[in-house]
């Protein structure tokens, strides 16, 4: 992606009380139509909104397909390595902390740019993936779909020590417990956001058992318990999907073979997006493009997020 695109993220200065004391940037392409969709993009540890955007290619995709983007950003004053505090009880509940800050940003962008409030989506990597889980659980009415990349289930940890254990794949709560935690996070009764899960099978930072736990957390909510409805190959990688009673895909999972910790990208060729870099891993499949397709944001999408 060209540098002039990524240098044009715009600071969002005013978006409510901001109890989590976060930063916010936006990218509204010239192709954005009235009542267009919004994607919220959460960076991982040691990253910034700009670095994650350049690696993932979201703003280049936004230019192609007329999508508004919001990039919440962590401040080092809140976390020494720039991680979202997904495990902190004050930052993983509805009505306060970082989740409320992100909710306030979303409302501001929806109001400022005439976004279709029924087409708001969220994605993130690592701590941003774990915070994506937080947002989907605490504000499910806001999102049509979410994509969790190398992340963790909602409320699987409530202390820093627990967070390290869960990241290594130890001691995760049962699927039943994880399901109950989502249901207790709000008074929402549905329809629930669709869930996309991505993880590398060689991830030594966040063990890929967390991908199974995320799926398990949401299966009962979506009434799709049990094995996947089908498994198919996408760009050479297995995609597991769970369909509801109407045949709509409500959960998908990609485990990327021989990939470590990071966001899967495909930067080469005519349809390439993003730039290879730290935690931005060239593996021949663009998670950005596939996630957007799952959400119905591409011209040739066959599945819609809601």
Residue 43 backbone zone (phi > 0: left; psi -120 to 50: alpha; other: beta): beta
Phi and psi at residue 156, to the nearest 5°: -70, -15
Active site residue 126: yes
Phi and psi at residue 239, to the nearest 5°: -115, 115
Helix axes 97-113, 127-138, angle to 10 degrees: 80
**What SS3 class is residue 255?**
strand
**Buried residues in 260-298 as b, exposed as e (16+ CB within 10 A):** ebbbbbbbeeeebbbbebebbbbbebbbbbbbbbbbbbb
Q: How far is CA 9 from CA 125, 172, 183, in A?
A: 19, 37, 35
The dihedral formed by the CA atoms of 82, 297, 231 and 283, expressed in degrees to the nearest 10: -50
Is the peptide bond preceding residue 245 cis, with omega within 30 degrees of 0?
Answer: no
C-alpha span between 138 and 11 (Å, rounded): 25
Q: What's the maximum distance between 2 C-alpha atoms anywhere in the chain?
A: 47
146: its two tokens = 């979410």
Residue at token pair 């050479």: 236
Q: What is the CA radius of gyration of the chain?
A: 17
Given the residues 126, 127, 286, 287, select the one marked as catalytic.
126
C-alpha span between 64 and 273 (Å, rounded): 11
User: Where in the sequence numbering do the catalytic residues fall?
Assistant: 126
């Amino acid at each position: 992606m060209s540098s002039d695109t990524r240098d044009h993220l715009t600071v969002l200065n005013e978006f409510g009380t901001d109890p989590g004391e976060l930063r916010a940037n936006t990218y509204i392409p010239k192709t954005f139509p009235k009542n267009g969709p919004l994607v919220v993009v959460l960076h991982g540890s040691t990253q910034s909104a700009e670095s994650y955007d350049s690696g993932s290619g979201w703003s280049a995709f936004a230019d192609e397909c007329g999508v508004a983007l919001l990039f919440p950003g962590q401040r080092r004053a809140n976390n020494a390595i720039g991680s979202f505090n997904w495990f902190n009880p004050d930052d993983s509940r509805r009505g306060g902390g970082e989740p409320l800050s992100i909710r306030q940003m979303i409302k501001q962008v929806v109001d400022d740019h005439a976004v279709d409030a029924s087409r708001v989506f969220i994605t993130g990597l690592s701590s941003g993936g774990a915070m994506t889980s937080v947002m989907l659980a605490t504000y499910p009415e806001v999102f049509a779909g979410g994509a969790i990349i190398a992340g963790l289930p909602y409320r699987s940890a409530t202390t820093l020590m627990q967070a390290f254990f869960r990241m290594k794949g130890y001691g995760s709560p049962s699927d039943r417990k994880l399901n109950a935690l989502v249901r207790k996070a709000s008074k929402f009764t549905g329809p629930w956001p669709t869930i996309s899960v991505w993880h590398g099978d060689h991830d030594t930072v966040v063990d890929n058992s967390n991908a199974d736990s995320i799926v398990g957390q949401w299966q009962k909510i979506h009434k799709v318990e049990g094995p996947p409805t089908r498994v198919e190959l996408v760009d050479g990688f297995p995609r597991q999907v769970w369909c509801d009673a109407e045949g709509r895909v409500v959960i998908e999972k990609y485990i990327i073979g021989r990939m470590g910790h990071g966001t899967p990208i495909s930067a080469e060729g005519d349809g390439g997006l993003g730039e290879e870099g730290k935690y931005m891993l060239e593996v021949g499949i663009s998670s950005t493009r596939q996630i957007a397709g799952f959400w119905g944001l591409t011209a040739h999408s066959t599945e819609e997020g809601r």
